[in-house]
Amino acid sequence: MKTIYAVLSTNNEADIIESFCRYTLTYCDGIIINIKETSVDGTAEIVDKLIREGLNITTTDSFKGIANLSDINVIMRCAFERKQADLVLPLDPDEFLLHLKDGNPRTALEALDDNTEYKVKWRTYVYEAGEKRDNSVFLPEYFPRYREPALETYYKTCVSRRLYSDKNGKLIQGKHALAYPEGEAPEIVHHNEMVMAHYPVRSSSQMIQKIIPGQMYYMTKDHPTFHWTPIYQYIKKHGVVEDEQLARMSIEYALREHEIPNGPVQLSDAPLMENNPLRPIMLRYTNYSQYENYLPPVLEEVENLFNYVVSAKMLKVIERVSENNYFCQLYYDMGNGFCEENSLKMPCQPGNNRIFFDTGELPPNTLFRLAPCNSSCIIRMKKAHICGQNNKTRLRITRSNAKYNLANRFFRFATVEPIISFRAADACGASIEIEYNLFIG
């Protein structure tokens, strides 16, 4: 029997994340999920409750010593190497794999040939207005109809261990395909007994909080996404999205202008759980009305985006190297607060700094305060670990006095006494390793 894992990276998806996890674990052995630090709508809290309930969900926070865990290829590697998966499904929270005959796709997944790349076609379900949603009801129950299959042009891929290890397959195109940089591509088969039920449009607030910051981010990269652009322009013009327009958006979702039908679109009635042996799936932690106020997550993400842009511009502008004597200083609280007696000072310089502080043995839950430089500066934090004899544990950033802070990675300090505070949760060690890029200014 194969070990099958789903992997995903998610942001503000609190309305659907519980439905996704409960459904996916009916046919997968486990889920590895990266919850972005910009998530503010309760997604992380719901996942934590599901984990405490006993569901086999692993968040990327639990992986030690691995960089770039927001990269879906790194998460996929963790599934193969840390969880010994035989098959990995790179998914999004709005995607629900369905077997057309049996409902549960597990048998079909077990039968997949390891030497073949299988692709599963989207089946996009259309938004429908209705009564107020019951918090215990599985979200796809509210969307019984899907658009014409002829409109679907996107597939999701299934990655076997052999494609990953022997072919060095890498996910590209938003997890829709694999690339094989070091070898010949395998045979590709479009699986005709499974579909990927897709629920991209679920409410006005969900669309607003997804599209506004998402499109603005891509605009900073000078390549706005074609399928979000018309939705973004509509929201910018009208401010809200009415039910009729939500239905139209779901019918036209991810279609290019020439692919959008001129006349009515045929909708087929086939609810996800119809005649499905997995039925019923009941929810415990979802509160649909909670997500009707879209402003907090939108403002939070726009602010993060602003900080990103400011930091990026600063990094381009500040390139000079000063002749001043710069130093960094690490304070550690031994029960009497932060003081000079319990601190270590090391030289630093503009550019990359990798510094080891020999603190001596420290107890678990020690608090640390790092002054990364004795000047106003920009910091790109790369790593912070407490080092024991045979292991390293990541230090968690708890606060800073930065004027701008992007996801606890980029810090813009206006003060000449910059501070970043850390905590070593349940870890002890005898030295601290800090690595960061320093830009003076």
| C-alpha angle 316-306-233 in degrees, rounded to nearest 5 | 120
18 backbone φψ class: left, alpha, beta (φ>0; ψ -120 to 50): alpha
356 by Cβ neighbours in 10 Å (0-12 / 13-18 / 19+) ranks as middle
Q: Stretch 405-432: mean pLDDT, rounded?
A: 84
Cβ atoms within 10 Å of 243's Cβ, excluding its own:
13
The residue among 54, 14, 51, 20 whose CA lies nearest residue 272 is: 20
Measured on CA atoms in the order 300, 306, 309, 313, is the torsion positive or negative? negative
Q: Which domains does the chain have, with CATH numbers?
A: 4-202+246-291 (3.90.550), 327-440 (no CATH)
Chain center to CA of 388: 30
Tell me the pLDDT band of 129, cut-offs 50, 70 and 90.
Answer: confident
User: Token pair for residue 210?
Assistant: 């997804």
**Which amino acid appears at position 405 of this protein?**
N
Can you tell me the distance from the alpha carbon of 419 to that of 343, in angstroms, rounded to the nearest whole number? 13
Q: 77, exposed or middle or buried, with CB in 10 Å at 0-12, 13-18, 19+?
A: middle
d(CA 352, CA 97): 45
Only one residue has tokens 């992997």, namely 7
pLDDT at 224: 65
Q: How far apart are the first and last CA of the chain?
A: 58
Tens digit of each residue's pLDDT (9 = 90 or more) over 94-124:
999 999 988 789 999 999 999 999 999 999 9
* 341-367 pLDDT per residue, tens: 888 999 998 888 999 888 887 777 788
pLDDT in tens, 48-72: 999 999 999 999 876 655 555 567 8
pLDDT of residue 314: 55
**C-alpha distances in Å from residue 19, one per residue of 153, 286, 326:** 25, 9, 52
Residue for token digits 């322009």?
Answer: 233
Task: Count Cβ atoms within 10 A of the Cβ of residue 316 and give its class: 0-12 exposed, 13-18 middle, 19 or more buried.
Answer: exposed
Q: Which residue has the tokens 């499109």?
A: 215
Mean pLDDT for 165-169 is: 87
Per cent of the chain over pLDDT 90 is 40
pLDDT digits (tens, 9 = 90+) for 187-246: 999 999 999 999 999 988 888 888 887 787 777 666 667 788 888 888 888 888 888 899
CB atoms within 10 A of CB 232: 20
Residue 320 has pLDDT above 50, yes or no: no
Of 260 and 303, which is predicted with more confidence? 260
Token digits for 298?
Answer: 């939108």
